Amino acid sequence: MRIRLLAALLSPFDLFRELSVYPDLKGPGIVFGLYFLGYLAVFYVASSKVVGVEHGALFLASIPMIPVFVMYTCLLWVFVTLLYWALAKILGGEGRFLSLLSATGYAQLIGAITVFVLAILYSQLPPLEVSDLSAVISSWAGSRLIAGVVLLAKLLMTFLRMMAVDACYGLGRGRSVAAGVIAFVVELITPPFNQLV
């Protein structure tokens, strides 16, 4: 499993070709475990940045929200994969949905890493006098650096998803790029999708 997770970063097309024949959901499960830990880090940092509230109590109160964030990210992963699947079918691709779901799950590793990067970046921002954690995170989201990191992650995940569609559905580069561009635009303009997934 560790080898496949590394392959998602080092040789993704080979991994996706392997997943087109032997899909697995253990790797994506590990990726979403990393999302959980990343969100835990983000909430910990955010709770330390709220002025006038006891840090530990605020962090403990925020922990029940973390599974909600992870489930939301999982649902968006499935919906984005469905979008790519539909585009692959429209463009004449042949393959199995489970293979594409597995491959795009490994592509989510970029998003999980990005959540950790955001926690590090958030730790460098000044404390804020606000009433809750969501106000802290919302105020930080307007940062150009944060927005740039999130956009870069989205572009990298789109690139990996294009490779996954090509490997799992045999679309070729041209049609895979077309599917990726269409999906990226849909993700950017559709409110539920324009989060970090």
Residues 41-95: pLDDT tens digits?
A: 988 888 887 766 676 777 777 788 889 888 999 998 999 999 999 999 999 999 9
Which band of pLDDT confidence, cut at 50, 70 and 90, is reported for residue 135? low
Which sign, positive or negative, has the C-alpha torsion 39, 187, 168, 117? negative
The arithmetic mean of pLDDT across residues 33-48, rounded, is: 89
The predicted-structure confidence for 83-132, as pLDDT tens digits, reads as follows 999 999 999 999 999 999 999 999 999 999 999 999 998 888 777 776 66
pLDDT at 38: 93
| Domains of the chain, residue spans | 2-189
Least confident of 19-23, 41-45, 108-112, 139-143: 139-143
In angstroms, the CA 119 to CA 84 distance is 29
DSSP per residue over 40-70, as a string? HHHHHHHHHTBTTS-HHHHHHHHTTHHHHHH
* pLDDT tens readout for residues 160-183: 999 999 999 998 889 899 999 998
pLDDT of amino acid 187 = 80
Question: Higher confidence at residue 51 or residue 194?
Answer: 51
